[in-house]
Structure 1
Amino acid sequence: MLYRVEGLVIRSTDYGEGNKIITLLTPSYGKQGIVVRGAKKLKSRYGSLAQLFTYGDYSYYKTGSLGSLNSGEIIRSFHELREGLEGPAYASYAAELTDRAINDDEAAAYLYHQLMACQVALAEGKDPQIVLRAYEMKVVQAAGYSPMLDECVSCGRQDGSFRFSSTAGGALCYLCKHRDPSALELEDGVWRLLRVFAALDMRRLGNIAVRESSKRQVQLALKRWMDTHLNLNLKSRHFLEQMDKYSDMLGERTKRPDPETGDGAV
């Protein structure tokens, strides 16, 4: 049967000597695996359609679990996301998270549009820490694991201070915080940011100015949440964490005072 869909390439792997298998996220059929024959050859007509992050119009035949590309056309290549070091790292994380967090027939239109907006935001140069945290919230929502953020998961209290518990299901009030001694104490601004991310459509994401300390707290809260409920070992996240550690190390080196002048080293 011949299918025609618009889709985003969220995975691309070598298959045989000259072929690739791509995973498309589509609005109509969820994830679709398609063989692109000859994609690795220099003069391939469809090699660019098999590149990671590509958004295109794909026509393919499918009789079993895998389809076979018949024709296609690039709508947007998102070449910006394949340049340098940070761009591919951030975009790869969003793609791998999407691929691993949902089953082939899940999410469809909702997460497709959210991932598309995530890619557009990264390509436009918006703060990747904010873009990825917002998208992580969209993924956990699509997977059915939304945290409760507006009231205590234990007693329903809606006022007072809260702590964030990934094991209890979200917010714990000051009377119930004993239920999870490891629950995170977050800044008020971080709670507001988490609630914004929960209600946000990624297509309306603007430029949000957030302090570095708040970014770190949001990152830790969502990391714990995903580790508890999705339990994914993502190569791309590990790479980002190593990149962050290296950046922090360079930052500390920059701040270290010169022993003779007392000025910060360059």
Structure 2
Amino acid sequence: MFEKCEAIVMRTIDYGETNKIVTLFTREWGKVAVMARGAKKPSSRLSAVTQPLAYGHYLIRRSRGVGVLHQGELIDSMRALREDLFAAAYAAYIVELTDKSTEEQKRNPYLFELLRQTLQYMSEGRDLEIMALIYEMKMLPVLGIPPVLDRCARCGATEGSVSFSVKEAGFLCHRCEEADPHRMPLSPASARLLRLFFHIDLARLGAISVKETTKAELKAVLSAYYDEYAGLSLKAKRFLQQMSVLKDTLAPDSGQDA
């Protein structure tokens, strides 16, 4: 029996001369793999709907292994993301992060909407680095490793300057900072943005402009935290880091912290 779902194409693998195995992230069932017969042919009705990042409605037959894709109808091809090198790199990263963090056929409508909305914002031209940072923050509870951001991770204090401790998995107040000699200093703007990114309703996200120096602080904190607790090895992350180095050499510091 074929069933209809709303889905985003996470990745594809060529199978034979004309077929693809497509991994869909669906709102209804989570991550599922389906065979798209003939999808490699340019004339195939499945060609456009099986492009990476494509978002649409799909008619599939599920199974415990690889199901079958019968047809699809595009809602958004996300073409703008695929045609820009930087946008494609950031989109590939958040998709791979989602892929490596989820199990097959485990429903998570919150995560589906988070991914869909983030890709949409990226496609509309929002700041790619900021969107990736927000996504990383919001993935931490999904991975089961949320940091302590509303108080000191050691004493519970809610006032005073803070630094970030990977060891203590959260903020440290100035009275407790000696507990971690490897703590990472944080500007008030970075501390505020970490909290904001963690708690904000993405659907209500307004314009956010952040200085490059503040972005660098945020990226350093999240990179260290993911390395310590997430246990993920992401090809797209390594490529993105190379792209970020290139971007930093081309763009001067700009922006005002939100």
Distance of 2:167 and 2:107 partners within structure 1: 24
Q: Post-superposition shift, 1:108?
A: 1.4
Query: Quick one: structure 1 residues 211 and 250, their matched pair in 2 at CA, closer, same or farther if it must change by over 3 Å?
Result: closer
Work out whether residues 153 and 169 of structure 2, in 8 Å CA contact, stay in contact via their aligned partners in 1.
yes
SS at match of 2:155: coil
Q: Deviations over 1:157-209 (max 9, x none)?
A: 11122211123111122232233221111100111101111111222222101
SS at match of 1:24: strand
Query: Quick one: structure 1 residues 107 and 144, their matched pair in 2 at CA, closer, same or farther if it must change by over 3 Å?
Result: farther
Q: In structure 2, what is the equivalent of residue 208 of structure 1?
A: 208
TM-score w.r.t. the length of structure 1 is 0.90
TM-score w.r.t. the length of structure 2 is 0.92
Q: Post-superposition shift, 1:216?
A: 0.7
Aligned partner letter, 2:133:
R
Q: In structure 1, what is the equivalent of residue 231 of structure 2?
A: 231
Report whether the alignment pairs 1:45 with 2:52.
no
Q: Deviations over 1:6-40 (max 9, x none)?
A: 00111122122221112111122111111111111
4+ residue segments displaced more than 4 Å: none
Report whether the alignment pairs 1:99 with 2:91.
no
Distance of 2:210 and 2:140 partners within structure 1: 22
Distance of 2:37 and 2:179 partners within structure 1: 55
Distance of 1:192 and 1:135 partners within structure 2: 16
Q: How many residues align?
A: 252
Gapped runs of 5+ residues in structure 2?
253-258
Map 1:244-259 to 2 at 5 A. 244-250=244-250
Q: Deviations over 1:61-106 (max 9, x none)?
A: 1232221111211111111011031121111111111111222244
Work out whether residues 18 and 41 of structure 2, in 8 Å CA contact, stay in contact via their aligned partners in 1.
yes
Aligned-residue CA RMSD (Å): 1.6
Work out whether residues 25 and 108 of structure 1, in 8 Å CA contact, stay in contact via their aligned partners in 2.
no
Work out whether residues 28 and 107 of structure 2, in 8 Å CA contact, stay in contact via their aligned partners in 1.
no
Q: In structure 2, what is the equivalent of residue 262 of structure 1?
A: none
Query: Quick one: structure 1 residues 183 and 102, their matched pair in 2 at CA, closer, same or farther if it must change by over 3 Å?
Result: farther
Moved more, 46-55 or 135-144: 135-144
Report whether the alignment pairs 1:132 with 2:132.
yes
Query: Quick one: structure 1 residues 226 and 160, their matched pair in 2 at CA, closer, same or farther if it must change by over 3 Å?
Result: same
Work out whether residues 135 and 202 of structure 1, in 8 Å CA contact, stay in contact via their aligned partners in 2.
no
Q: In structure 2, what is the equivalent of residue 118 of structure 1?
A: 118
SS at match of 1:227: helix
Distance of 1:179 and 1:232 partners within structure 2: 27
Aligned partner letter, 1:100:
K
Aligned partner letter, 1:27:
R
Moved more, 130-139 or 97-106: 97-106
Q: In structure 2, what is the equivalent of residue 260 of structure 1?
A: none
Distance of 1:173 and 1:27 partners within structure 2: 40
Q: In structure 2, what is the equivalent of residue 29 of structure 1?
A: 29
Moved more, 100-109 or 86-95: 100-109
Q: In structure 2, what is the equivalent of residue 183 of structure 1?
A: 183
Aligned partner letter, 2:102:
I
Aligned sequence identity (%): 39
Distance of 1:11 and 1:22 partners within structure 2: 6
Distance of 2:40 and 2:26 partners within structure 1: 23
Distance of 1:240 and 1:187 partners within structure 2: 25
Distance of 1:63 and 1:250 partners within structure 2: 48
Distance of 2:241 and 2:119 partners within structure 1: 20
Report whether the alignment pairs 1:109 with 2:86.
no
Q: Post-superposition shift, 1:127?
A: 0.8
Gapped runs of 5+ residues in structure 1?
253-266
